[in-house]
Amino acid sequence: MPIEVRALIAVVAALVFYLIAVRIVRVMLAPPPPDEPDLTLLRPVDYRYRCTVCGTEVTMTAAPSPDGQPVESPDAPRHCREDMRLLGVTTP
């Protein structure tokens, strides 16, 4: 194999290793997620959702309401990469 081809392969491999290392360092330097949500902004709710793909059910018992007003229907959670379907709402 000619020396030029070997040199090109070595440069490409070094570049790939460099890009992977930069990506790892960026991920490690990202700030951590917040510890706890502000509990004063949460209001009690009782929403039941079901995944349309696998049938998993989720009950939401609190939802954010920054203005202190009753909570409207929040965005549906996602499961199996699809929005879950709202089954029912019980007034707390």
Q: What ranges do the domains of the chain cover?
A: 1-30, 39-89
Contact 57, 48 (CB under 8 A): yes
34 or 92, which is more confident?
34
Whether the predicted pLDDT of 92 surpasses 60: no
Residue 42 carries which side chain, given as an amino acid letter? L
pLDDT at position 60: 87
pLDDT at position 21: 97
How much is the pTM? 0.52
| Rounded percentage of the chain residues whose pLDDT exceeds 70 | 88
CA pair distance 61, 45, nearest whole angstrom: 5
Cα 13–Cα 18–Cα 24 angle in degrees, nearest 5:
130
Specify the DSSP element, H or E, that contains 64. strand 57-64
